[in-house]
Amino acid sequence: MKVVLLALGSRGDVQPMVVLGRELAGRGLPVTVVAMRDFAGLVGGAGLGFAPVGRSMRESVLAAAGPDGRVSSNPVSYIRGATRWLAGIAPQVAAAELAAVEPGDLVVAGLLSFDDGAALREITGCRVVNVLFAPMLPTVAGGSSVLGPRHRTASRINRAAGTAGLAAAAGMCTSTGRALRASRGLPRTSAGQFVRLVRGTPTLLAFSPVLVPPAPDWPEHACQTGAWLDPEPESGWQPPEELAAFLAGGPPPVFISFGSVPGTDPDAGLIARAATLAGQRVVLGSAAAGRPALPPDVHVLAEAPYRWLLPRMAAVIHHGGAGTTTQALLAAVPSAAVSTGADQPFFGRRVHELGAGPPPVRKASLTAGRLAALITDLTGDAAAGYRAAAAAVREQLLAERGAQVAADRLTDGLIP
């Protein structure tokens, strides 16, 4: 038996799966990760088996984006674009999964591959457990659900909204599963069946109870493990000369990144104007090759380990994804979210509620002036309070053993 991790999505979906895979491999279990071919280095560097999807993340996302190669910041358009992307890569995903999974394997599926896992169970007889990196299970507890409209109270309206939200997401979340089912003549999964699949499959909730308080009505087979974090910071990583020189050339800058999905990187001109208005230095986390020259106080960075980079920043402005939110809090620096949709507004709001930063801002309404005001807030008089709150959360996060708890549950019989 081997463990097959279906890590469909961006780096934020793949990185925690690799952390879990490393923990399982350390216990003597063979592990294979199914992910876009871009992540061969990340998976291989952890010593795990790799079953690549035969498409590039960047090329496939941009092919599904708008005519200008940009991913829309409108939530509805964003979901439509994600659905087009998943439909475009579905045949390659199905082929990679069928090649990787054998009878008796244990499959761990993420939200975008829940239906894939269920189909693989029908096809191969494998065992399946799901993982959520954001609180998507329907519950009365509004503070424990991305989909609950009454986030400050307990209400049956929250549970109804969560159920409706899952049903609405079924079309997107079963995109690759449809191709897998079609390859074996299996019927597609309806919206109602998808909701029952999410509720009825053993599930690991891979997010911290600090960020997401446990809900009283989550299913008994749902286990909140805590976030799956790398055990050690990237102490051995060496920054490029340009980054090292920039960091040494002035006070700590503000890091700004809107995620690793191609086409979502921020407008460099807007960032530069905001930095000038706020009088702050900025590191722009973006693959920004070919962009016009930026002022010397704005440094463009293609990639760096967040465990190394973020503690060296004065503050962090990000898209509000579960992984980046957790990494910013681990760095114990002030942070804020500029969100599009899905789980991003939820995690941005939670950072504010924990006292570690101001309220989130919608990306669709972002201007240079609003971004400058956000930078000023994060680095001004309120910064000390934000930093103290983030440091308190960091201590709680470090006390969690998310990947170890998840591995314990997988090896001790979370599923029959």
Q: What is the pLDDT of residues 28-58, one digit of tens each?
A: 999 999 999 999 999 999 999 999 998 887 7
The least confident of 44-53, 66-75, 308-317, 320-329 is 66-75
In this predicted structure, the answer to whether residue 415 has a pLDDT above a threshold of 60 is no
Please tell me the pTM assigned to this model.
0.92
Structural domains in the chain, sorted by start: 3-229+400-411 (3.40.50.2000), 241-398 (3.40.50.2000)
The sign of the CA dihedral 245, 247, 250, 255 is positive
> Across residues 399-409, what is the average pLDDT?
94
- CA nearest to 260, candidates 57, 51, 40, 18: 57
Q: What is the pLDDT of residues 150-194, one digit of tens each?
A: 988 899 999 999 999 999 999 999 999 999 999 999 999 999 999
Higher pLDDT, 416 or 353: 353
pLDDT of amino acid 396: 94
Q: What is the pLDDT of residues 77-133, one digit of tens each?
A: 667 778 888 888 999 999 999 999 999 999 999 999 999 999 999 999 999 999 999
Q: What is the pLDDT of residues 46-89, one digit of tens each?
A: 999 999 998 887 777 766 665 555 555 556 666 777 888 888 89
pLDDT of amino acid 12: 85
User: Distance between terminal CA atoms of the chain?
Assistant: 14
In this predicted structure, the answer to whether residue 221 has a pLDDT above a threshold of 70 is yes
Q: What is the pLDDT of residues 249-289, one digit of tens each?
A: 999 999 999 876 555 556 788 888 999 999 999 999 864 44
